[in-house]
Amino acid sequence: MTEQLSADDWIKQGLKALGKNGFTALKADPLAKAMGVSRGSFYWHFADLAAFHVAVLKRWREIAAEQIIADVEAASDDPLMTLLRRSFGARLDLERAVRNWAAFDAAAQGAVRAIDRRRLDYIEELLEKRGLAPATAQARAQILYWTFLGFALSGTPLPAARLQSILDELLLMVST
């Protein structure tokens, strides 16, 4: 690679490595090798590995919650169904990898807790907009989120028609 790398390039490579090989792949040497540069480039952008990990987790929170919420809000007259389709239709390797990392690392654990709270709050908001009382919206948001986590952690893809049928049932269960 002949062009100079940015911190963003390193973070993108880190997310890619994390999703493919897990958190133990988040080290300067293997990342540099994969990018065809020396690890000096890594340390130009990050004081140490811990700073890099913080940046990777921050980006994960942005793409796994904030970006999705913004896209759902911009694209739909039925945000809850759009969120369900997007969440249950996505590749979730990165989700599983970060949650695994959180079992071993306090910073990753904090990032997971923060994203769980953000996602739950957003689902509650969507359910309240559908007319559910706050306490009901809170309970159903939790159930819906647990369903997503079970799906995400199972790693089992479903045929499109079956997934759509399940999402339709989920929407009925939580909205009425």
- Structure tokens, 64: 């796994």
For 24-75, how does the pLDDT look when each residue is reduced to its tens digit (9 = 90+)? 999 999 999 999 998 888 999 999 999 999 999 999 999 999 999 999 999 8
For 108-127, how does the pLDDT look when each residue is reduced to its tens digit (9 = 90+)? 999 999 999 999 999 999 99
Q: Alpha helix locations (H) across 36-77?
A: 39-45, 49-61, 67-75
**Alpha carbons 138 and 13: distance in angstroms, whole number:** 36
**Alpha carbons 42 and 48: distance in angstroms, whole number:** 9
Q: Are 87 and 167 in contact (CB under 8 A)?
A: no
| Confidence (pTM) | 0.90
- Quick one: pLDDT band at residue 3, thresholds 50, 70, 90? low
pLDDT score at 137: 96
- Structure tokens, 132: 């559910």
**Alpha carbons 99 and 35: distance in angstroms, whole number:** 25
Indicate the domain borders of the chain.
7-175
Average pLDDT of the chain is 93
- Structure tokens, 19: 């999703």
| CB atoms inside a 10 Å sphere around CB 19 | 18
CATH architecture of 7-175: Orthogonal Bundle (1.10)
